[in-house]
Amino acid sequence: MHLKPIVILPGQPNSIFFEIFFKSLQKKIKSPIILVCCLKLFIVQAKKYKFNSTYNLISSDTINIINLKNRSINIIDIRYKKGNTNQAQIRNSRAYLEKCFKVAFVLLKKKVTYKLLNGPINKKNFLTKRYLGITEYISDYFNTKKFGMLIYNKKLSVCPLTTHLPVKLISKKISKKLIREKLILINNFYLDIFKFTPKIGVTGLNPHCESILEFNEDKKIIAPVIKSMKKKGISCYGPYSADTIFLKQNRKKFDVILGMYHDQVLAPLKTLFEYDAINITMGLSFLRVSPDHGPNERMINKNLSNPTSLSRALEFLDQN
């Protein structure tokens, strides 16, 4: 039986990806690896970081899983030209990333694989205003209406109800429908992938789940949904005040914490686990993960970047 390959998009051409990628491969991966990237860029980076593994140049048109080489890096070459000005670099980088994603999406649609990993991407320079993040970009391409971001660590994971929204818009997006959707996504994902029913803690929106205003989202929206979803067999609890749910004695009660906005749950999780977490998109027909950090241009060429998140992402896809 042939393992499905892990398709990897290194992401931003100017990033720490190859450094942490080469470090991550110190741990053996059973699945074949297909890199969708610029071959010249790969060769330059491999030489810089003294990565001695061979590569196998392949074509996305004639790809055959049987012919992939497990002990080599299988590469689909996507040409990239840096550009002479800052605007040209942004423009060329965007075009390069679009081509990389297009090739990866074709491989997914052809069922060559169900495992996708993308490296860190500068969302501001790549995405249009239509998308809040790469999660939304990929989900939209595959016409997935119900999806969610899970920042996963085996001890504790978090899911933000809203992702990269400006703070002043968050309260307008909080709804019973969206909370129900995310609770079902989390529950089904854990059942499908990890084979158990997760215990889900839900934060409130307001400080201490209280409000000086007449309308309190915690009482009017969040609490009723939790009550109704419990009756449907989902193990969810709350709403809890966000300033105490991550205390040691509280967080150990849950597998996942569903928060109302991005930094409400990502900031404490990153404080607890730093790089030991990965970004998973729930709701897709395939597994999509990425390391839980950005391109980090300031660390390029320093050879000091921590590969833990990428290592965990590779391990997750290799085991599923």
The sign of the torsion formed by the CA atoms of 246, 295, 311, 291 equals: positive
Q: What is the mean pLDDT of residues 105-116?
A: 95
**pLDDT at residue 65 above 70?**
no
Per-residue pLDDT tens digits for 121-164: 998 889 888 899 999 999 999 999 999 999 999 999 999 999 99
- Give the pLDDT score at 46: 94
C-beta neighbour count of 40 within 10 angstroms: 12
**51 in the same domain as 119:** yes
- Give the pLDDT score at 106: 94
**136 in the same domain as 22:** yes
**89 in the same domain as 17:** yes
DSSP 40-100: HHHHHHHHHTT----EEEE-SSS--GGG--TTSEEEEE------SSHHHHHHHHHHHHHHH
- Give the pLDDT score at 269: 97
Query: pLDDT category, 183, cuts 50, 70, 90?
Result: very high
**156 in the same domain as 204:** yes
Please, what is the end-to-end C-alpha distance for the chain in angstroms? 14
How would you classify the pairing of strands 55-58 and 200-203? unpaired
**pLDDT at residue 1 above 60?**
no
Task: List the one residue out of 149, 168, 107 whose CA is nearest residue 258.
Answer: 149
Cα separation of 92 and 97, whole Å?
Answer: 9
**pLDDT at residue 54 above 90?**
no
- Give the pLDDT score at 52: 85
**Looking at per-residue confidence, does 52 or 240 come out higher?**
240
**188 in the same domain as 288:** no
257 near 246, Cβ under 8 Å?
Answer: yes
**pLDDT at residue 34 above 80?**
yes
Per-residue pLDDT tens digits for 281-295: 999 999 999 998 888
**Looking at per-residue confidence, does 64 or 160 come out higher?**
160
**104 in the same domain as 179:** no
> Which of 70-74, 113-117, 243-247 has the lowest average pLDDT?
70-74
**90 in the same domain as 218:** no
**171 in the same domain as 49:** no
Cα separation of 172 and 205, whole Å?
Answer: 11
158 near 256, Cβ under 8 Å?
Answer: yes
Give the DSSP letter of residue 199. P
**3 in the same domain as 135:** yes
**pLDDT at residue 84 above 80?**
yes
**86 in the same domain as 65:** yes
Task: List the one residue out of 139, 222, 142, 151 whose CA is nearest residue 180.
Answer: 222
**200 in the same domain as 77:** no
Is the peptide bond prior to 239 cis by the omega test (within 30 degrees of 0)? Answer: yes
**Looking at per-residue confidence, does 59 or 257 come out higher?**
257
**pLDDT at residue 304 above 80?**
yes
**Looking at per-residue confidence, does 301 or 278 come out higher?**
278
- Give the pLDDT score at 180: 98
- Give the pLDDT score at 64: 64
Question: Which residue range forms the structural domain that includes residue 19?
Answer: 1-144+284-320
Cα separation of 188 and 196, whole Å?
Answer: 9
Task: List the one residue out of 10, 7, 5, 3 whose CA is nearest residue 105.
Answer: 7
Q: What is the mean pLDDT of residues 195-213?
A: 94
> Which of 81-85, 152-156, 231-235 has the lowest average pLDDT?
81-85
Cα separation of 260 and 171, whole Å?
Answer: 9
Residues 96-119: b if buried by 16+ CB within 10 A, e if exposed: bbeebbebbeebbeeebbbbbbbb
User: How many domains are contained in the chain?
Assistant: 2
Q: Indicate which CATH number applies to the domain containing 62.
A: 3.40.718.10
Backbone angles phi, psi at 108, to 5 degrees: -70, -45
How would you classify the pairing of strands 6-9 and 33-37? parallel
How would you classify the pairing of strands 55-58 and 73-77? parallel
Query: pLDDT category, 19, cuts 50, 70, 90?
Result: very high
**163 in the same domain as 117:** no
* High-pLDDT (> 90) share of the chain, %: 80
**pLDDT at residue 279 above 90?**
yes
HSE value, Cβ hemisphere, 13 Å, CA-based, for 197 = 6
- Give the pLDDT score at 3: 86
**pLDDT at residue 229 above 80?**
yes
